[in-house]
Amino acid sequence: MDQMLQTTGANDRAMMAPQRVTPLDRARTLTTLLVLLHHAVVNYTWFGNGDKMRWLGFDLIVLFNDSFFMAFMFFISGLFVRDSLARKGSAHFLRDRAWRLGVPFLLSIFVLMPIAYYPTFLRYHLPGTTDFNFLHFWWRTITVGPWPSGPAWFLWVLLALDAIAAAVWLAMPRAIATLGQIVSAVRNRPVAAFAAFLVFSIAVYLPLRLMFGDGSWLEPWGYPLPIQTSRILLYAGYFFAGIGVGAAGLRAGLLTEDGELARRWLFWLGWALLFYAAILALVYVKHNWIDLDRPPAVFEISYSLAFALFSAAMVFAVPAILLRFAKSGWGLLDALQPSAYGIFLLHYIFTIWLQYVVYDHSWPAFVKFAIVFVGTLSLSWALTVALRKIPVVARMI
């Protein structure tokens, strides 16, 4: 009898254990690569004020990424919340999230970001005009400011959304299950789900975008807790949409490898490219025929709609492509997967320092970008692999 009970308990734990879904792992890793790419090229764009060597193609990359990838990160993060809550319960879930998100966030704002931003301080403060000591710079950063969080802002926002999800799970146990049922109802009608998500995306983005514009950031009390004001509801909406899809089943419904979502990958990609073309057309119109200081309301509405629609279409297109070609070779994504989170946390140090090193050289923009991108990926990957050999760090990243 004891042996039977032990076997049953082992089977229950196995059933509750988290299962890897390879296409979704690849989606998270791909997004990490896009973040790294974004930060590597942004210094060489025409709209920025970074390096003197620039290339218009990098502006297109930055525009493409910025129009979807952060919302997509929140969507992908939401996919795993329901199963994690069911497996651990609210309290354990929050402790785990605090360890995996809260501690890295604190390390980022107190250690990693000051190291990353020090080259920027050196570039704009000539020798003899200020104290170049790093400790002096660090102390001034956290006491006087500005105190930037860099890409780590994603961590505190995700932790806050996880806390809200845990509270909902505790106070209204059926709410997340209801979300899953709504998604399950359209699992065999992906076009209807697509249309509904387009409308949803507009609803959670357009009002705040028109109210605050796209350049406004909310940073409570000057602490490094920023979030782009116009995208607060967009990120929260996509996160809870991801929870609903995850509650419907990560290996079933919309996310099955041979399902309608995957089979229609060209359809979703086509719509995404069409919406991105609309964004490009509107940007061209803006820079040629519109007063940049006072753009008309019709332009603001049109651009907001194109942004929301493109973002929504990419939420369908990227998973569909990865699901459709799940059995194909994705060597780099699969190799990076165990280190993706660590690369996300560490890459900004290497990106800014390498941009600082190549700044004074008159090399073409693409050469500088290649040095920064390859160097950042290699160094942050290698450092992550080394750090993950430490057990306590491996449990965090």
Reported as a single tens digit per residue, the pLDDT across 190-241 is 999 999 999 999 999 999 999 999 889 998 888 899 999 999 999 999 999 9
pLDDT, average across residues 136-143? 90
pLDDT, average across residues 347-356? 96
Q: What confidence tier does 294 reach under pLDDT thresholds 50, 70, 90?
A: confident
Looking at residue 127, its pLDDT comes to: 63
- Among residues 281, 296, 328, which one ends one of the domains? 328
Q: Are 129 and 50 members of one domain?
A: no
Give 296's contacts (C-beta < 8 A, 6+ positions apart): 290
Looking at residue 13, its pLDDT comes to: 41
Looking at residue 126, its pLDDT comes to: 64
Query: Is the residue at 165 inside a domain?
Result: yes
Q: Are 42 and 133 members of one domain?
A: no
Looking at residue 289, its pLDDT comes to: 86
- Among residues 296, 328, 360, which one ends one of the domains? 328
Scanning the structure block, which residue is given the tokens 């967009």? 234
Q: Are 124 and 202 members of one domain?
A: yes
Scanning the structure block, which residue is given the tokens 């491996």? 394
Query: Is the residue at 178 inside a domain?
Result: yes
What total of structural domains would you count in the chain?
2
Contact 192, 183 (CB under 8 A): no
Q: What confidence tier does 343 reach under pLDDT thresholds 50, 70, 90?
A: very high
Q: Are 30 and 161 members of one domain?
A: no
Query: Is the residue at 56 inside a domain?
Result: yes
Q: Are 289 and 165 members of one domain?
A: yes
Query: Is the residue at 171 inside a domain?
Result: yes
DSSP 35-101: HHHHHHHGGGSSSSSS-S---HHHHHHHHHHHTTHHHHHHHHHHTTHHHHHHHHHHHHHHHHHIIII
pLDDT, average across residues 160-181? 94
Angle at 388 (CA atoms; ends 242, 163), nearest 5 degrees: 30
pLDDT above 80 (res 189): yes
Query: Is the residue at 9 inside a domain?
Result: no
pLDDT above 90 (res 293): no
CA distance 196 to 12: 37
When the pLDDT of each residue in the chain is averaged and rounded to a whole number, the result is 90
Query: Is the residue at 14 inside a domain?
Result: no
Q: Are 299 and 392 members of one domain?
A: no
Q: Are 216 and 315 members of one domain?
A: yes
Q: Are 47 and 137 members of one domain?
A: no
Q: What confidence tier does 327 reach under pLDDT thresholds 50, 70, 90?
A: confident
Looking at residue 3, its pLDDT comes to: 43
Contact 317, 69 (CB under 8 A): no
3-class secondary-structure state, position 130? coil
pLDDT above 50 (res 366): yes
pLDDT above 80 (res 91): yes
Q: Are 86 and 37 members of one domain?
A: no
Contact 152, 105 (CB under 8 A): yes
pLDDT above 60 (res 249): yes
Looking at residue 92, its pLDDT comes to: 96
Alpha carbon 126 to chain centroid distance?
35
- Among residues 279, 297, 328, which one ends one of the domains? 328
Please measure the distance between the N-terminal and C-terminal CA atoms of the chain and give it in whole angstroms.
40
Percent of the chain with pLDDT over 90: 74
Query: Is the residue at 1 inside a domain?
Result: no
Q: Are 269 and 397 members of one domain?
A: no
pLDDT, average across residues 51-73? 94
Q: Are 167 and 241 members of one domain?
A: yes
pLDDT above 90 (res 80): yes
Of 238, 104, 84, nearest in space to 161 by CA: 238
Looking at residue 230, its pLDDT comes to: 96
Q: Quote the tokens at residue 51.
A: 């390096």
- β-partners of residue 260 are none
- For 322-374, what is the HEC assignment? HHHCCCCCCHHHHHHHHHHHHHHHHHHHHHHHHHHHHCCCCCCHHHHHHHHHH
CA distance 74 to 91: 21
Range of the domain at 297: 71-328
Using a cut of 0.85, tell me whether the model's pTM lies above it.
yes
pLDDT, average across residues 4-20? 45
Looking at residue 9, its pLDDT comes to: 41
Q: How do 217-218 and 227-228 pair as beta strands?
A: antiparallel
pLDDT, average across residues 172-185? 90
Query: Is the residue at 180 inside a domain?
Result: yes
Q: Are 277 and 323 members of one domain?
A: yes
